Amino acid sequence: MKILGIESSCDDTSVALIEASENNFVVLAEKTASQIDIHKKYGGVVPEIAGREHAIAIMPVIEEVLSLGYTRDAMQKKPFDFPRLRSGQVAHGKPDAIAVTAGPGLITGLVIGVEAAKNLSYLWEVPLIRVNHMDGHVHSVLLKNQINKSGANIKIENQSIEFPALCLLVSGGHTELLLATDHGVYEKLGATRDDAAGECFDKVAKLLGLEYPGGPKISALAKKGNANTISFPRPMIKENNLDFSFAGLKTAALYWLRDNELSALDVNPDLPAGIFGVQHNNPTRADFCTSFEQAIVDVIVEKTSRAAEKYQPTTIIFGGGVSANEKMRATLRAELQKILPNSKFLIPEKKYSMDNGAMIAVAGYFQAQKNNFTSWRDIVVDPNWEAYISG
Ligand code: KG4
Ligand code: ZN
């Protein structure tokens, strides 16, 4: 079945058309309008601006995906005279269902995506699926980059989620450990009590003068530093629970920068010591980033390992924007391999670790299999919708 996935919970207006069957998800077309360049002036996402930008982008992005998707799909030979696009073009076909993120996220963005999905569901008489954003991140591991540079589909091995599945979801808004017993059915094992790990990356990056979103910038710098230079706290690592806390780590980073000086070697590593205030012994900005990243990695790996030991999952999933972090991917993979050598460890392709419409379509497919459709009359957004509480 063809599913149109719509995602607008944060700063990406992202839409994808997928062809879904059991354990096989082909992305026919996808498009993301990113707002990063707009928000980075403010150092973070401004909800009012996000809402406005989603409203501008949503229909053109949907139109582009539909026309692209049906041109590419060789199976769709008979053009419908429907739906007619604003641009005057006719999209050759309509999806079998529309999946849309209804929460959690920024209400200003969620309402735009849901409103567009509602309208299309009514106009096209196509069923609507209400998807939880975090359920989308879990299912992002089933997506593979199946379209090559020339636009042709490439065949790749299918992946599946076996249950019980331990899901570690780490993003700008969430850090949580969930146990899935079926698609979309979760038990909460632990979560952050304050800041999310991605938020901590972004806020500390801001202290270093790095642009939003700072997570990727910190992790790039961290590749060049020494993790033992600064001893940052590992909050809650010893506590006998599966919760996290990152606000204290952010404050520790702030105080370190207030009380210490970074080496000027970042500016020019060839400068001889002593001139222009160059202190060879001070940690470099890269050392700072590596030490900071290591603190987050240690806490997340420790708590996830404990959950893996306790619940013995068949599959372990690491999703959310922070799953793009290579250090965290590699350390988790190595540690979990030691604890559960026979379990699958699934991480999304980097492209699908960030927010995207395709993952919403895949999560929607499994809801459709359970006949979990919502009428356009009844669909509501819930900015605080927790994945483990069914909507
Ligand atoms: O899931 P996502 O795209 O949006 C939310 O739902 O929040 O996650 C975005 C978050 C941002 O905080 C960003 O800094 C972080 O993911 N992130 C990273 C990396 N790439 C993205 N954090 C650390 N290392 C990375 N390589
Ligand atoms: Zn996300």
pLDDT of residue 359 exceeding 50: yes
User: For residue 12, how far is its CA from the centre of ligand 2 (angstroms)?
Assistant: 10
Three-state secondary-structure class, residue 292: helix
Note the ligand closest to the C-alpha atom of 360.
2
State whether the beta carbon of 32 lies less than 6 angstroms from ligand 1.
no
pLDDT attached to residue 280: 61
236 secondary structure, DSSP code: T
Indicate whether residue 324 lines ligand 1 (CB < 6 A).
yes
Its CATH architecture, for the domain 2-143+349-389, is 2-Layer Sandwich (3.30)
* Cβ-contact 22, 35 below 8 angstroms: no
CB atoms within 10 A of CB 124: 15
Does residue 198 carry a pLDDT above 80? yes
Atom of ligand 1 nearest to the CA of 205: 14
Cα separation, 52 vs 57, whole angstroms: 9
Beta-carbon contacts of residue 215 (< 8 Å; ≥ 6 apart): 172, 198, 201, 202, 205, 321, 322, 324, 325
Share of the chain above pLDDT 90, in %: 79
Q: Which atom of ligand 1 is nearest to the CA of 354?
A: 3
Question: What is the rounded average pLDDT of the residues 164-183?
Answer: 97
The token pair at 4 is 């149109």
Could you check whether 2-143+349-389 and 165-346 share the same CATH topology? yes
pLDDT value of residue 82: 41
Give the pLDDT score at 387: 87
Ligand nearest to the CA of 135: 2
Q: String of b and e for 199-225 (b: at least 16 CB within 10 Å)?
A: bbbbbbbeebebebbbbbbbbebbeeb
**Chain segment 290-340, per-residue pLDDT in tens:** 999 999 999 999 999 999 999 999 999 999 999 999 999 999 999 999 999
Across the chain, mean pLDDT equals 90
Tokens 């068949």 belong to residue: 314
Alpha helix (H) ranges present in 208-325? 214-222, 247-259, 285-311
Asked if 240 contacts 190 with a C-beta cutoff of 8 angstroms, the reply is: no
pLDDT value at residue 23: 81
Domain boundaries, the chain: 2-143+349-389, 165-346
Q: Is 155 helix (H, G, I), strand (E, B) or coil?
A: coil
State if residue 215 touches ligand 1 by the CB under 6 angstroms criterion: yes
Going by DSSP bridges, is the β-strand pair 185-191/128-132 parallel, antiparallel, or unpaired? unpaired
354 C-alpha to center of ligand 1: Å? 7
Helices 197-207 and 285-311, axial angle in degrees (round to 10):
170
Q: Which atom of ligand 1 is nearest to the CA of 326?
A: 26
Q: Ligand 2 center to residue 388 CA distance, Å?
A: 16
Q: Which residue ranges are tagged as binding site for substrate?
A: 169-173, 202, 215, 325
CA dist., res. 235 & res. 247, Å (int): 9
Ligand 1: residue of 195, 204, 322, 385 to mutate (most ligand atoms within 8 A of CB) is: 322
CA 197 to ligand 1: nearest atom: 12
- The crossing angle, in degrees rounded to 10, of helices 285-311 and 214-222 is 100
Which residue minimizes the CA distance to atom 13 of ligand 1? 215
Is the CB of residue 242 less than 8 Å from the CB of residue 303?
yes
Task: Name the residue type at position 44.
Answer: G
**Residue that the structure tokens 């050392």 belong to:** 287
Kindly give the number of the ligand 1 atom that is closest to the alpha carbon of 325. 26
- Counting from 1 in the atom list of ligand 1, the atom nearest the Cα of 320 is 1
- Residue 231: partners with Cβ closer than 8 Å, 6 or more residues away: 291
Q: Is 198 in the pocket of ligand 1 (CB under 6 A)?
A: yes
The span from the CA of 41 to the CA of 66, in Å, is 32
Q: What is the pLDDT of residues 90-133, one digit of tens each?
A: 455 789 999 999 999 999 999 999 999 999 999 999 999 999 99
Q: Cis ω on the peptide bond leading into residue 383 (within 30° of 0)?
A: no
Q: Which residue has the higher pLDDT, 93 or 386?
A: 386
d(CA 187, CA 217): 33
Whether pLDDT at 342 is above 90: yes
Which ligand has the shortest distance to the CA of 203? 1
The continuous run of DSSP H or E covering 60 comes out as helix 47-72
Side by side, the strands of the sheet bearing 97-103 are 24-34, 12-21, 2-7, 97-103, 128-132
Measured from the CB, is residue 202 less than 6 Å from ligand 1? yes
pLDDT in tens, 259-294: 998 876 665 556 665 555 555 678 999 999 999 999
Atom 7 in ligand 1: which residue has the minimum CA distance? 172
Q: Which CATH architecture has domain 165-346?
A: 2-Layer Sandwich (3.30)
More confident residue, 80 or 39: 39
Q: Answer whether 70 contacts ligand 1 (Cβ < 6 A).
A: no
Binding residues for Fe cation, as ranges, are 133, 137, 355
The answer, yes or no, to whether any atom of ligand 1 lies below 6 A from the CB of 256, is no
Report the alpha-carbon distance of residue 139 to residue 254 in Å, rounded.
Answer: 36
Whether the Cβ atoms of residue 141 and residue 159 lie closer than 8 Å to each other? yes
Residue 111: C-alpha distances to residues 53, 108, 168, 342 (Å): 12, 6, 27, 42
The predicted structure's pLDDT at residue 142:
96
Residue whose Cα lies nearest atom 20 of ligand 1: it is: 216
Q: How far apart are CA 192 and CA 237, in angstroms?
A: 12
Per-residue pLDDT of 34-45, as tens digits, reads: 999 999 999 899
